[in-house]
Structure 1
Amino acid sequence: MSIWISWMVAAGVVVILELFTGTFYLLMIAIGLVAGGLVALMGSGHELPYIVAGIVGVAATLALHRSKYGWKKNSDASQDPNVNMDIGQSITVKEWQDNGNGKFSARAMYRGALWDVELVAPAAAAGVFTIVEVQGSRLMVRA
């Protein structure tokens, strides 16, 4: 078996391993292995494919890490509409209670149950509000 075929088989094995992990980092290493296989196919020495595979693999991994698909910042689940389906939904509040210091709270029906509602922005008039955060059984709303 030619040496370049061994590089391609190794790249295929790494791609298969990536399917089990669910990350893109092993795909970047596989790209490096393919680059090493292409260099071996061109008939260079035995050391050059290793060097090229290492450089391309590290460069691809660093590029992935700095992209939007790499390391992600953890977001607060209480304000993330991808985690909590209530964020962005509307709720009707009929009456606000003044808690002092500019804080207002209420009890309102939402999805068939009574919820504690707290006003985030200063607007104490009754009406329709948008849910911006969920803290336990308390809905934080904004006009």
Structure 2
Amino acid sequence: MAESTLWWIVTGVLVALELATGTFYLLMLSLGAAASALAAHAGLSLMAQMVIGAVVALVAVGGCYQWRKRRPGDPSPRAERSVNLDVGETVQIERWNPDGTAVVRYRGAPWTAMHRPGQIPHSGPHRVVELVGSRLVVEPV
């Protein structure tokens, strides 16, 4: 069996494993195996095929890692309006406590509100952006 055929089989196995597990990094490794298969088609030695495959896989995994690191994370399910109907509602905050919380009347009961990190707390209308436990995370409207 030709070396290129073996590399294509390895590529197919890695793609199948990626489909079964959802690990995107296996897809990057399969790119390295495909590069090795192309190197085998070009008639390069086995050592050159392995080096080319390793370099392509390393660059692909590194690029994927950097891209995912820069990408903002998915929003918390607690901040989704479809999961929590309180998200998007407006509350009136009269004053903030020294610990960064406020007590607000919401749905006929007292709730503890806290401002979103990075926001400067001030009184007035605020929008609920997330629910953490029994606390409303709010930001100014």
**TM score, norm. by length of structure 1:** 0.71
Alignment gaps of 5+ in structure 2? 116-120
Give me the whole-angstrom Cα distance separating, in 2, the residues matched to 1:103 and 1:57: 49
Highest CA radius of gyration, 1 or 2?
1
Cα displacement string for residues 55-85 of structure 1 (whole angstroms, at most 9, x for unaligned residues): 1111111111111x35878x7xxxx854212
Q: How much does 1:99 deviate?
A: 7.4
Count of residue pairs brought into register by the alignment: 129
1:83 aligns with 2:80: no
1:15 aligned partner: 15
- The structure 2 residue matched to 1:131, chosen from 125, 128, 134, is 128
The percent identity for this pair of structures is 26
Which structure has the highest helix share of the two? 2
Q: How much does 1:32 deviate?
A: 0.4
Alignment gaps of 5+ in structure 1? none
Amino acid at match of 2:29: I
2:118 aligned partner: none
**Shift in CA distance, 132/34, structure 1 to aligned 2, threshold 3 Å:** same
- What stretches of structure 1 move > 3 A for 4+ residues in a row? 70-73, 98-104
**TM score, norm. by length of structure 2:** 0.72
2:56 aligned partner: 56
1:118 aligned partner: 113
